[in-house]
Amino acid sequence: MSHGIEGTLTKRKKETGASEHGGGVPVPAQTPDVPDLPFRMDGNVKEFHLIAEPVRQEIIPGRVVDLWGYNGSAPGPTIQITKGDRVRIIVDNHLPEATSMHWHGFEVSSDMDGSPGSSQDPIAPGGRFVYEFTLNQDGTYFYHSHMAMQEMMGMIGAFIMHPKDAYKPSVDKDFVIIMQEYAILPNINVPNSMNMEFNWLTFNGKSGPATTPLIVRHGERVRIRLINLGMDHHPIHLHGHQFVVTGTEGGRQPESTWGPGNTVLVGVAQSRDVEFVASNPGDWMLHCHLPHHMMNQMSSNVGPMSRRMGMAAGLDMERGMGMLRQGSATSGENGPSLGRGLGVGSTAEQAMSNSPLSAGSSMHQHQDMPGMQMRPPDVSKDANSIPGFPQDAFMEGPMMAMDRMVDKPENYGLRPGWSGFMAGMMTFVRVLPPDQYDQIMELRQKQQGKKPMSNMPPMEHNHE
């Protein structure tokens, strides 16, 4: 019989009871856009089954990429256990090459560590390895392939070890966010795991605006577990609230180390738990504060930004394909394409104009991308004369809104056009009054009926 940690913890909570912020049984963690890994009981052992395999994943609407992950997901499904559990994890390798499975931060015997060559042989294609250990830790941990380039293809998952009794103060909501980055050129679908220039940055396998907001009720205490396994460090910033860092990849931190902040640096191979009371109603951004990590589909440009028109259609093959016939790639005669949109202006590498769109042109529904809302840009009359215009914030701003394409219950009630300003490692923490919170919970329950959110009754906005 399959079980989930949510049912186990919920049952214990009902049996023991828990006062507000006062202890009791831990609440299960939620990993938006990523499933939990079910388990079955074999006597007193919780048995999980992980499959390392290629994954085709849509990171924003219309952008499907080829990654490697576990059980059809990158990052892989979240595993949740309770301190003291005996755990068995069966790992099957469905990749075309050998892999490994390392349990990051686990205090287990050397033969269960998953280090290829030192603790075990790599798991061959089509092979299997069974790990079994008793876990006497609690905190935010994770699992990942110990083949370096496989990590850059997406092979990581969260492993949450709950204490038997909730930490004090206890939380009402517990969320997990895994940060990953990929280098994927606009006209291909496979990450270049050797490239250091990342143009797709994800929370739980999605880039903004496709990330799913964290929904909390006004007054609830919230924990967010941030996990980073990539090549970049990420300063994660929360709007509207101060938080304290209560845990790392080594477990719970002593309360004497807690101090207020609103930005936490999550380094490579680290996790950080932050906690706060959601006392300020509103739709608050949670994002990496590195500017390039708040963009989608970035790619390097050469040559100066230019107001002149790009390659005209119908020329010879070399120029039509953007091949240089004279000068160097960085010469003043060769200007770049914009190349950083959500698919409208960068579906292939080709010479194209980087002149600003005409302010008088009509921008409504884009014919090639239903759901993309287009509207005239708000620019000054002398915009063309300003060096550096246009920049990506302009291109990915109000003219790139795609609210309908990322329609889901958690987005219901956001301001129209919100999605035009969300990209990369960006999501919302939505602190809602009880009636709006209950409304979204009801919409979640109705989601299986596939009723469009646009047909739902209007929700009041909080703009204070």
Q: Which helix (H) or strand (E) holds 223?
A: strand 221-228
Determine the pLDDT at residue 325: 59
Return the pLDDT at 39: 97
Q: What is the pLDDT of residue 313?
A: 38
| pLDDT number for residue 10 | 55
Strands 76-82, 156-162: pairing is parallel
CA atoms of 165 and 13, how far apart (whole Å)? 10
**CA 164-168-171 angle, 5° bins:** 85
Question: What pLDDT, on the 0 to 100 scale, is given for residue 91?
Answer: 98
Note down pLDDT in tens along the chain; length 464 residues: 456 665 555 555 555 444 455 668 999 999 999 999 999 999 999 999 999 999 999 999 989 999 999 999 999 999 999 999 999 999 999 999 999 999 999 999 999 999 999 999 999 999 999 999 999 999 999 999 999 899 999 999 999 999 999 999 999 999 999 999 999 887 789 999 888 889 899 999 999 999 999 999 999 999 999 999 889 999 999 999 999 999 999 999 999 999 999 999 999 999 999 999 999 999 999 999 998 898 887 766 544 443 444 433 344 455 445 555 555 555 544 444 433 334 333 333 333 333 333 333 333 444 445 556 656 666 777 877 777 666 654 444 454 688 999 999 999 999 998 998 899 999 999 999 999 999 999 999 888 665 544 444 445 544 43
Tell me the β-bridge partners of 174: 223
Contact (Cβ atoms closer than 8 angstroms) between residue 261 and residue 245: yes
pLDDT of residue 453: 45
Instruction: Look at residue 54 and give its three-state secondary structure.
Output: strand
DSSP-assigned states of every residue in 297-320: S-----S---SS--PPTT--HHHH
What is the pLDDT at residue 196? 86
What DSSP letter does each residue of 157-205 carry, written as one string? EEEEEE-SS--SS--SEEEEEEEEEE---TT--S--TT-----EEEETT
Q: Using CA atoms, how far apart are residues 152 and 192, in angstroms rounded to an integer? A: 8
What pLDDT is attached to residue 194? 87
CA distance 89 to 439: 39
The pLDDT assigned to 13 comes to: 53
At 320, give phi and psi (nearest 5°).
Answer: -65, -30
